[in-house]
Structure 1
């Protein structure tokens, strides 16, 4: 073969390389998309809708209202129809709602399970305390069950109801001692050998005027019992109230109503690439983050209140242990009631005349011995140990601590939810430097600056979603409830509000992974993995945000926004290599990483060498 022919062959080969490179760089969807069969297959594979909703070949549908915005020319042909677009919108909305539900589900199940177990444990303790109190009255003071059952049952039923906010503890305790006083007088103070018995009128009178008798028959014991019960039960009730409002917050976000502009942005994010036959490319993570932050900006608005109440629960739990915890108080309650009764028996001679004057108790119903002496009846304490060795299960405080450590990990849940949804590698391209992802119009890197997730920032700066500054009424009420319950929690602690950001890991408790954990109050676990599941949490503190309830009528649309560089540059996603400006390639372009000048220069070099 001649030298000339070799040159000719070499030049021809170089030209072919040049042409192929040019085609690879600038080939758009319309250059190669002659059929919509693959789009149809994906449409049915994902169960989005019936195959016939997708056209067989690219067409122009003037009714397209969402995905037409991703086309360079609205009259351009695509594999989307008006009917398939509606299905895409529904599926995109479902994806976000399912994602929110999934993020909430584990925490919701954890809280519901803990509330059920906590209440069950408390009610079980109340039942044991009720049985022990009844046994003491029968076995120690020889009071028939039929005479004390009603008073005892009412007291402990009120303790259960107190956790539901339907009773006032001081009134319940006072009513118990009013009702039990005539029974004590009849069975433990009056002379057993006396022929007189307490009449119905006398019984009623003693119950009615018990609090008027001086000196007080039960001394200060009723007040001490109220103080103990009120302290322990009010904290437990505040704890449950907080958990219920946290559940309400989760349920409210589970049924979040998405705005139409959000639905459209979600559709552009996930499905408008199908219109151009680009199903094989995932949406860019930055594009996803921008859209999700706009759609979920209302959730970020409750994030400060959410973080505050989680912090307050954490502080409250620290004070729930020790001798004044609800389980310890309920365990001691039968003995406290017994002490009150013993006080009445010992001091009967002092208040007998006051009682006699108020209720006209006959003189024949004298105190034991008939001479105004202290009764000689001694309570049978042979069952004292057995009744105090009630079958208490694992320390309730340790169980609450375990749960709270998991709950603390939910700080920042709603502030960070949008970003976390976009960390799914199956759904979204995680490499922010690649140019091989769907950016809303073409296959290229997403270069818009990400706006801060706060509602105000999103309304001002989000280029993908129009965000209103008007708070949804449900979210407004939820914010108020969270704040109100949080104030109630703080009223039960001695900690200043600014201290609520302190994590449990900052406490005196050691969580090292290889040391014992001293929870205080004599409770020690061998290792922190026995106490809680590993996890570092997702929050970053309680950053206050303005409570905005105004309408921004000048909200920018995606084409009228200020340049992205005017916003927070900390969230700026750098462009892929060789992309210093936002590219505007033809719709459906497969890549723009190889430029025409570069290929032309390479061709000229090859041509010179060939010569």
Structure 2
């Protein structure tokens, strides 16, 4: 299995080809090569031994204890090395996907910035923080923050409406209180048509699946790393010592354990880990399914690249329907007051700018020159190889020639007592089959506490992956296939056969909010509530403007009072 077995290999080579010895010279040479002292110069009476056979050994009780500790160290290293392929592969793929999604968002943000600067000029630069905040939230979500992308996108459209309405109606005043009223009307107004709903579906599905996938890889990595380091039981350690180092105490350091003997020892020692088998394979299946979604209907590259395009489509829709939208706003929040003549700027050249699509050579490139298809193909191949790992681990370890004898040497191996064939049957795979393990006593009634914790981790990750696969956010219990986005209406339902349309938002770890973003509105009424509809009429408008004027006078009144 590699360098961790160097010491054992030295012990085995020291007496290569030898049968049971009458003296301890080979044992002394093997111990000296290992730096463990020389041991007794001759055979001893073996009543003092607690693990190895007691008939004329070459080990003192102190040496047996020392070899027992070394056996535990070797066993732990052997199991960790056997699991190293899984842990290193999952860790490296986690880093690759995490970096890919992070750079994908950076590329998408740069593309939006370049397109909006060319298309909207100064209007974009004046409101750039709005879009910086959006991408900051997307980055937080991909890093594990527990937030709802649906709410983030809803807030974006509301704030965009608050920015655009004054630009389309420069002849009116729009104080903050009025814009708050406008924000509460956004869902009923549908100022951006059906674009918000489509973007919401695409982004929440795609980035929800991406986040669940990356977190799933991290969960798999952690479970493998910790399961491979589970402390072996005392029964296991005795069996491992009997298998690995008792031949040395018998004067035959080159004698390898029989393959069947090794299998029974390893199956008993790793019984708790094999209890992960079923949940592990379910978890891998869910990872593979979500990976396929990332390059299929929940294509995260297309979702990232479409953010700027969809926002521009929404802006264009509102520009083309500005008169109707403004009329609905004035009906719900009353007609605003005319702006002073000097403040009516000629904003037509800016507000009349229209969305334009990219020429082919200007379309955003993928993140860091990587290709999501290649990443997914690679990770699917690796995940397939990990199926059945926990049941197969004892076989993998015992198939190494440094650990056990070949099956062709059944009559020339260490059977736990002497050189000869190992007679007991090999137990079946899995925890339940270890009830009659002849080498290691195993409690099959329930897995140990650490194994139960790993099972819960795998089940939770599998559940989130299955939710992401169907476009659901299990953290927020949302299903976006039937919901309408802010500023959109009912109607079109998601079709997996159509263009990629995003993933359910999901997250687990709370992170700090960046300075350029703002928390979703908490005071916005629920869709269809009466608070969404403000009465119109001269009396209501007069009351509204009186309230606004009073708010404007409050700072002056405060100054007067403090001045006195």
Q: Which TM-score band (shorter chain)? A: 0.7 to 0.9
Counterpart of 2:354 in structure 1 is 379
Structure 1 CA distance for aligned equivalents of residues 27 and 345 of structure 2: 103
Q: Which residue does the alignment assign to 1:231?
A: 205
Which of 141, 152, 155 matches 1:172? 152
Can you list the C-alpha shifts for 1:530-549, whole angstroms capped at 9, x where unaligned? xxxxxxxxxxxxxxxxxxxx
Q: Please say if 1:436 is aligned against 2:412.
A: yes
Deviation at 1:43, TM superposition (A): 1.5
Distance 1:296 1:359, change over 3 A: farther
- 8 Å contact from structure 2 (residues 264, 426) kept in 1: yes
Which has the higher mean CA deviation after the structures are superposed, 103-112 or 425-434?
425-434
Contact 1:215 1:350 in 2 (8 A): no
Who is 1:302 aligned against?
276
Q: CA deviation at 1:161?
A: 1.7
**1:266 offset after TM fit, Å?**
0.5
Following the alignment from structure 1 to structure 2, what is the Cα–Cα distance between the partners of residues 332 and 382? 11
Query: 1:397 aligned to 2:373?
Result: yes
Q: CA shift at 1:397, angstroms?
A: 2.5
1:77 aligns with 2:51: no
Give the aligned partner of residue 478 of structure 1: 454
Higher alpha-carbon Rg: 1
1:510 alignment counterpart: none
Counterpart position of 1:50: 37
Distance 1:336 1:183, change over 3 A: same
1:348 equivalent in alignment to 2:322? yes
Change (3 A) 1:451 1:432: farther
**How far is the alpha carbon of 1:242 from its aligned partner?**
1.9
The structure 2 residue matched to 1:465, chosen from 403, 422, 440, is 440
Distance 2:93 2:393 in 1: 23
- In 1, Cα distance between equivalents of 2:146 and 2:164: 29
Q: Count how many residue pairs are aligned between Structure 1 and Structure 2.
A: 451
Paired with 1:324 and 1:177, the residues of 2 have a C-alpha distance of 22
SS of 2:120's equivalent in the other structure is coil
The reply on whether 1:450 has 2:433 as its aligned counterpart is no
Matched, 1:64 2:49: yes
The TM-score, its normalising length taken from structure 1, stands at 0.68
Distance in 2 between residues matched to 1:380 and 1:320, nearest whole Å? 29
Note the aligned Cα RMSD (angstroms).
3.2
- The answer for the alignment partner of 1:21 in structure 2 is none
1:262 corresponds in structure 2 to: 236
Aligned in 2, Cα 1:56/1:360: closer, same or farther, shift over 3 Å? Answer: farther
1:283 aligns to what? 257
Counterpart CA distance in 2 for 1:346 and 1:167 is 33
8 Å Cα contact 1:178/1:207 also seen in 2: no
Q: Which residue of 2 aligns with 1:218?
A: 192
Does the Cα contact within 8 Å between 2:134 and 2:156 map onto a contact in 1?
yes
Provide, for residues 411-457 of structure 1, a one-character-per-residue CA deviation record: whole Å limited to 9, x for no partner: 11110101110111133211355311110001101111011122121
Instruction: Verify: 1:129 aligned to 2:104, yes or no.
Output: no
CA distance in 2, matches of 1:382, 1:316: 31
CA distance in 2, matches of 1:99, 1:482: 24
> Once the 2 structures are TM-superposed, how far is the Cα of residue 245 of structure 1 from its aligned partner?
1.7
Q: Do the aligned residues in 2 keep the contact of 1:111 with 1:243 (CA within 8 Å)?
A: yes
Q: Which residue of 1 aligns with 2:489?
A: none
Q: Give, in whole Å, the separation in 2 of the partners of 1:351 and 1:313.
A: 45
Note the alpha carbon deviations across 1:107-154, whole angstroms, 9 max, x for none: 222221111111111111111222222333332123445532221111
Instruction: Describe the superposition over 1:469-501 as per-residue Cα deviations: whole angstroms up to 9, x where unpaired.
Output: 242111101112212222332334469xxxxxx
* Residue segments in structure 2 that go unaligned for 5+ positions in a row: 1-17, 472-496, 499-564
Deviations 1:244-288 (A, max 9, x none): 221121111221110011001001101111111011221111111
Are the equivalent residues in 2 in contact too, given 1:137–1:143 (CA < 8 A)?
no
Unaligned runs of 5+ in 1: 1-26, 496-519, 522-611
Secondary structure of the corresponding residue to residue 77 of structure 2: helix
Q: Deviation per CA, 1:302-335: give whole Å up to 9, x if none.
A: 1111111112222222332236400011111100
Is this contact kept in 2: 1:300–1:454, CA < 8 A?
yes
Query: What is the distance in 1 between the residues matched to 2:46 and 2:351?
Result: 102
Question: 1:284, 1:432 within 8 Å by CA — same for their partners in 2?
Answer: no
Deviation at 1:64, TM superposition (A): 2.0
Superposition TM-score, scaled by structure 2 size: 0.73
Distance in structure 2 (CA, Å) of the matches to 1:320 and 1:334 = 20
